[in-house]
Structure 1
């Protein structure tokens, strides 16, 4: 019976307040669990974003390094091709120049021989040269051979330069010919 004594106005109010506080405590515990779960999900999402970002940065760095390596290899390929072209053109130039100089020297020898021995062993005689052409001490360029040799050398040089430009223009610095 003592229990009914508490059922007066103050007792009922205290009882109602206790029940309300218990309900609020239960609601608070539920909210706490809810936000902990949401926080855990957000934390996982954040970690996933961080991992994705780190993977993106790593992929970018790998791709950039691969691109730099490809650029270095391409530059080495282009330099190698250009050096080969330079060497080939230089060798051709030197060979053609040597051949032209040798031919000029043979012509000089023939001119000297023709001026001293016009009949040359049974062959048909050459027309007689003038006295001025037969002189041994000629000024440079009088027989025309040095001027012609110089013109020939310059023509060879120009032809080889044109060929060098054509060959260099064929080298594509942007693409690897193995990928075509």
Structure 2
């Protein structure tokens, strides 16, 4: 039996095999065909980040196959339900696939750009000291004036930590050997 596709594209899903019975009462699709010019990426968002992800935000996507290439897309949909097994929420990122580099079932890394106008203080991640379930930094005022200050961390991305409270713009913090200074100052 010859089955003709209604349009050109790539077979991205095949639900029949040699020897399968094709019946009229089976309304499932035999094949899924896509032109793959626009692709969807389903990404996991951890529960702690749900409030920071919204429809319309920009997304930068990288793959293992093309480590130097960044694909740009937008969040098209945000799930309303968390996966009960791994406590993540699914988001759908839509992006153009003009060079046909993105393939079904590829592993990707997705970085979302938050478009809200909120600002925060950022410091090197090495400057943050975690002790007794709290985050601290050592603030440098002068050679003989160092203070330990508790901070509230929003998020750490790569080697930058974003601070919600506890620091002001322009405050200088110790980012090298801060733990030694913290131990000496906190012991007072």
Calculate the TM-score normalised by the size of structure 1: 0.20
Structure with the greater alpha carbon radius of gyration:
1
TM-score, reference length from structure 2: 0.19
Question: Higher helix fraction: Structure 1 or Structure 2?
Answer: 1
User: Taking CA–CA contacts closer than 8 Å with sequence separation of 6 or more, which of the two structures ends up with the larger relative contact order?
Assistant: 1
Greater strand content: 2
